[in-house]
C-alpha cells in the first residue's frame, strides 16, 4: 500500500492555479525529490499533504487516511519541516521539543533524547533558539519533525542555507531514516537528488513535468537520460524547453 497517495490535486488562489492536477504515490523506503523553479507549486503541494491548506479539489491519503476526512490521524503520522524551518525564537531547543512532545502526547524523555541525538543538538539544548546559527535552527526544525518517529516525512528545502558540512550531515540523516519511512523533500540543489533521492518529480506551473529514477549511474526521466552530474541540463530542458 502506498504510504502517500495523491490524486488529481488542485489548489487555486483566485484565478491562479498554484497546483494544477498533481498525482503520484510514495511507498515505504522511498525518498521522493520535488524539483522545480520557484513558484512551481512544490510548497503548496506539501502544505496540502500535511493538512495545512485544504485542496480546491482532488485527494490526499496518508497511510490510508484521507487528510480532509481525518486530519488528526494524518497529522499524527507525518513529520513536517515547513519552508524556512520556523521555530519559536524565544524558546530553547529543549523547551521547544518538550512543547511539541506534549502536543503529540509523547511521554518521557526517550523521544526527545533520540531526536536530539540524531540531529546532534546536545550542545545547544539550553540556549534560546534566536541565538543559534542557521544550521542549528534548521536542525531544531528537523528534530521537531522526527520527534515522534513518523512513517511519513515532508521536508521543504531541508538543506537550504546550510554550509556544505551541514548539508552533508542532513543528507546522511535522511538516508539513515529512509529505509522504513516514506520521505518527500523539495530542493533546488540537483546534486542533492543524486545524493539522497530514490525518485524525483520535476514540477512546473503546478503540474508534474517529468518523473525520474536512477538507472545505473545515471538518472532517467522518461526518454531523457542525465549522466552523473548532468541533472541540471536535463532540469533546464524540462522546465524551460531548452535543448540539452
Partner 1 sequence: MTGNFVGTGAIFRRELAAYFATPVAYVFIVGFLLLAGVSTFYVGGLLERGQADLRPFFQSHPWLYVVLMPAVAMRLWAEERRAGTIELLLTLPVDLGAVVVGKFLAAWAFTAVALALTAPVWLTVNALGHPDNGVALAGYVGSLLMAGGYLAVCGALSALTRNQVVAFVLGVVACLLLTVAGSPIVLDAVAGWAPRALIDAVAGFSVLTRFAAIMDGVIDLRDVVFFASLIALALFANALVVDLRKGVG
- Residues binding partner 1 (CB under 8 A): 13, 47, 50-53, 72, 75-76, 78, 80, 82-84, 86-91, 95, 99-100, 102-105, 144
Judged by beta carbon, residue 77 or residue 167, the one nearer partner 1 is: 77
Q: Starting at the edge strand that comes first in sequence, how are the strands of the sheet with 182-186 ordered?
A: 78-81, 152-156, 182-186, 31-35, 199-204, 207-215, 218-221, 224-226
| Minimum separation from the CB atom of position 213 to partner 1 (A) | 29
Helix H segments across the chain?
42-49, 71-77, 93-103, 110-119, 134-146, 164-178, 190-196, 231-240
Please identify, using beta-carbon distances, which residue of 93 and 212 lies nearer to partner 1. Answer: 93
Q: Give 12 or 28: the residue with its C-beta nearer to partner 1.
A: 12
Least distance in angstroms from the C-beta of 212 to partner 1: 28
Closer Cβ to partner 1, 47 or 199, answer by number: 47
Residue identified by cell 491562479 is 16
CB neighbours of residue 30 within 10 Å: 19
The Cα–Cα gap between 133 and 115 comes to 19
Least separation in angstroms between residue 59's CB and partner 1 is 18
* Cα–Cα distance measured from residue 153 to residue 223, given in angstroms and rounded to the nearest whole number: 30
Q: How far is the CB of 36 from partner 1 (least distance, A)?
A: 19
**For residue 218, what are the contacts with CB-CB under 8 A and spacing of at least 6?**
225, 226, 227, 228, 230
Task: Record the cell numbers describing residue 83, joined without a space.
Answer: 519552508
Nearest distance, CB of residue 43 and partner 1, angstroms: 10
Identity of the residue, 64 or 222, whose beta carbon is nearer to partner 1 in the bound complex:
64
- Nearest approach, Cβ of residue 180 and partner 1 (Å): 21
C-alpha cell of residue 198: 530514490
For partner 1, the closer of residues 52 and 220 by Cβ is 52
Amino acid at each position: 500500500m502506498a504510504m502517500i497517495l495523491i490524486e488529481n490535486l488542485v489548489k487555486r488562489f483566485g484565478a491562479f492555479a498554484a497546483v494544477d492536477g498533481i498525482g503520484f504515490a510514495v511507498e515505504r523506503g522511498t525518498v521522493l525529490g520535488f524539483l522545480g523553479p520557484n513558484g512551481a507549486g512544490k510548497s503548496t503541494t506539501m502544505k496540502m499533504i500535511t493538512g495545512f491548506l485544504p485542496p480546491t479539489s482532488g485527494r490526499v491519503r496518508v497511510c490510508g487516511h484521507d487528510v480532509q476526512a481525518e486530519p488528526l490521524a494524518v497529522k499524527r503520522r507525518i513529520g513536517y519541516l515547513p519552508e524556512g524551518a520556523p521555530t519559536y525564537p524565544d524558546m530553547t531547543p529543549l523547551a521547544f521539543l518538550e512543547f511539541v512532545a506534549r502536543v503529540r502526547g509523547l511521554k518521557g524523555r526517550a523521544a526527545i533524547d533520540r531526536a536530539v541525538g540524531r540531529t546532534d543538538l546536545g550542545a545547544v539544548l539550553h540556549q534560546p533558539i534566536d541565538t543559534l546559527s542557521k544550521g542549528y535552527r534548521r536542525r531544531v526544525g528537523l528534530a521537531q519533525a522526527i520527534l515522534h518517529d513518523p512513517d511519513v516525512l515532508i521536508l521543504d528545502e531541508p538543506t537550504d542555507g546550510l554550509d556544505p558540512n551541514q548539508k552533508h550531515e542532513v543528507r546522511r540523516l535522511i538516508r539513515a531514516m529512509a529505509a522504513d519511512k516514506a520521505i518527500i523533500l523539495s530542493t533546488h540543489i540537483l546534486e542533492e537528488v543524486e545524493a539522497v533521492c530514490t525518485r524525483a518529480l520535476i514540477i512546473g506551473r503546478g503540474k508534474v513535468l517529468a518523473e525520474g529514477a536512477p538507472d545505473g549511474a545515471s538518472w532517467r526521466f522518461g526518454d531523457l537520460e542525465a549522466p552523473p552530474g548532468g541533472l541540471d541540463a536535463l532540469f533546464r530542458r524540462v522546465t524551460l524547453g531548452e535543448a540539452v
